[in-house]
Amino acid sequence: MKKILNNPENYADEALEGMCLAFPHLYAQSGEAGRVITRATPANSKPGIVSGGGSGHLPTFAGYVGTGLLDACAVGNVFAGPAVMDCMDAIRAANTGKGVLLLFGNYGGDKMNFAMASEMLEAEGIATRTVLACDDVGSARRDERQKRRGVAGLIYAYKIAGAKAEQPDATLDQVAEIAQRALDNTVTIGVALLPCTVPEAGKPTFTLADNEMEFGMGIHGEPGIHRGPLLAADTLADEMLNTLLQDGDIRAGDRVAVMLNSLGATPLEELFILWRQVRAGLLGHNISVSPPQIGRYATSMEMAGASLTLLKLDDELESLLNAPVASPWWSNAS
């Protein structure tokens, strides 16, 4: 294992410390072990939004704390859910008296710990709502959508719910509703070329032959739809796009937001090679495209591969997606 680290057991803590030191105007650490990331300047009188999940996916999850996005985030070890007490501290930090939306991926440990945290905080008078991201089409059939994993599509929900929560007189129920609507219209597919190595494990999370790729693999190395020969970029882009168009019921005349995401090791050059074919495919189906997000948004350590996310837009979703935001990881530049 070759990584830039000190003690593997301190990997997550030192990474969070470094992120907060790099952007002290945006982030602050709290919680007993510093595993809760909050806004450097807390918001006043708005519905709060909290997320959480394991380390190893930056800028997801903690990187999306900021104006127009999250208010706080609880972070666990690499690929491990956050502790219950950290979930509670994050919810408290985000609460301004208008309740808190819990917005995170559909993973068992995260669900259990956030459920326990919200139940215990009811005694403190903190109202919560929970919305789960279930956008990974590679993890379950559409008629079992509630079983799907949450992957990069969660970031669109952060952006849209975050913008809604900043509006004067926005309510917790309204913020939860718009987050759910965004996720109901979001689909993602990923493809892995090479594995990553969790520092404390010291070995790859899975194996692939030199000429193999896995279509639909999850961000922790969960099995995908199929494993097969490495495809040419245009062929791969077509397969990813067609899978999403069919599953997401996206048709001619629709407008979509597109996120083309590196899982860690895949460089921008290769994402742009994919983008030229994805864009051509969308326009060929008479589907209009808002300015894309292309880069590292939801990673899996140093895994080589990419994910493609489509969000079918309506006027409100698009307006919220384009609202101002304070984040080093999001740009509305067109």
The predicted structure's pLDDT at residue 334: 45
Catalytic positions are 57, 220
Same domain membership, residue 88 and residue 48: yes
One domain for residues 146 and 221: no
Q: Is 167 exposed, middle or buried (0-12, 13-18, 19+ CB in 10 A)?
A: middle
Structural domain including 66 reads: 11-184
159 in the same domain as 98: yes
Q: Assess whether 193 and 309 both reside in one domain.
A: yes
DSSP H or E stretch at residue 319: helix 315-321
**pLDDT (tens digit per residue) in 146-162:** 999 999 999 999 999 99
Residues 195 and 149 in one domain: no
Output the pLDDT for position 275.
98
**Boundary-marking domain end, from 152, 169, 184:** 184
Instruction: Give the separation between CA 181 and CA 292, rounded to whole angstroms.
Output: 20
Q: Is the pLDDT of residue 202 over 70?
A: yes
Q: Do 213 and 168 fall within a single domain?
A: no
Structural contact between residues 306 and 274, judged by C-beta atoms closer than 8 angstroms: yes
Question: Whole-angstrom Cα distance, residue 27 to residue 40?
Answer: 5
> What is the chain's mean pLDDT, rounded?
96
Q: What CATH number does residue 150 fall under?
A: 3.40.50.10440
State the pTM of this model. 0.97
Give the model's pLDDT for residue 31. 85
Residue 327 lies in a domain: no
Neighbours of 225 (CB within 10 A): 15
Three-class secondary structure of residue 149 per DSSP: coil
Residue 333: what pLDDT?
55
Indicate whether 27 pLDDT > 90.
yes
Out of 162, 184, 206, a domain closes at 184
| Conformation bin of residue 206: beta by default, left when phi > 0, alpha when psi is -120 to 50 | beta
Neighbours of 144 (CB within 10 A): 10
Residue-level pLDDT at 331: 78
Q: What tens digit of pLDDT does each residue of 266-282 get?
A: 999 999 999 999 999 99
- The tens digit of pLDDT for each residue in 174-191 reads 999 999 999 999 999 999
